[in-house]
Amino acid sequence: MKFKTTPYHSDLLKDIGRLSVFFEAIEEYDLNNDLAYDLGCGSGILSYFLSSKFNEIISIEMDKKAYNCAKENLSDFKNIEVVNSDVLNYNFTKKADLIVCEMLDTALIDEEEVTVLNHAKKFLKEDGVIIPQGIINTAELVNLERHYVHWDENVNYLVLSKPIVYSSFNFKEDLNPEFKTNLRLKANNEGIVNGLKITTFTKLNENTICGPTPMLNPPLLIPLDEKEVKVNDYIDVEIKYIMGKGIESIKTKYL
């Protein structure tokens, strides 16, 4: 099936790694099949994957151009309703067996996954499922060439520590978007620390965890003040940000 898309959603469709893990998670779903919500459905590709499994799919997309694409792409499927709305304003009237929400980015800093799910999962059945289930975040000490927040795309940097898991989230739980934690990282190389690398792993279901792909959670590089380290030195850093409020909300400092 050929999909009409916006330029952005075309890039999403070209990311085979991202697409395949969502397809696998949906294919593995084998519970109740009455109703599924596809939140932020984009071009409608995940609704297409859902179409053979559910009696009814409600696909919600706020962007008008993406909505028009999804409406056209899914027009032949009688069990799919495509709605042009902000999820936070949509009038949910039924509880779903499954919610699919692909509003993902690194540590959820630049997307509205938390706000959307905190609202929409009130309309998930008690035994309902969310795809993805959650995320796991890791941090590493690095030496950066660029001294501003940027993504790990065609840039050079030196990793100076092993990664540590600093947070994990289950999307069925209520999540506080205001995040703050203290990191203790142990240098395993000597050099100048001037940044953190944040990497997010997505837990699609009990069987599938996906690392970064070109369009799914590319690692985020965050500058710190310069500090010289030797092997086995410990560096303590506070990091805080507001999930959904963008990279401008990131704050760091040494402790």
Whether residue 1 is predicted with pLDDT greater than 80 in this model: the reply is no
Domains detected in the chain: 7-102 (3.40.50.150), 134-254 (2.70.160.11)
First to last CA, the chain: 54
Average pLDDT over residues 1-16: 89
d(Cα 172, Cα 133) in Å, to the nearest integer?
A: 7
Cβ burial 69-78 (10 Å sphere, 16+ → b, else e): bbbebbeebe
Nearest to 128 by CA among 97, 152, 149, 154: 97
Nearest to 180 by CA among 243, 239, 223: 239
pLDDT, tens digit, 9 for 90 and up, residues 73-112: 999 999 999 999 999 999 999 999 999 999 999 999 999 9
Q: What is the pLDDT of residue 138?
A: 98
d(Cα 149, Cα 218) in Å, to the nearest integer?
A: 13
Average pLDDT value for the chain: 96
Q: What is the pLDDT of residue 3?
A: 87
Q: What are the tokens at 249?
A: 């909300």
pLDDT, tens digit, 9 for 90 and up, residues 130-154: 999 999 999 999 999 999 999 998 8
pTM of the entire predicted model: 0.95
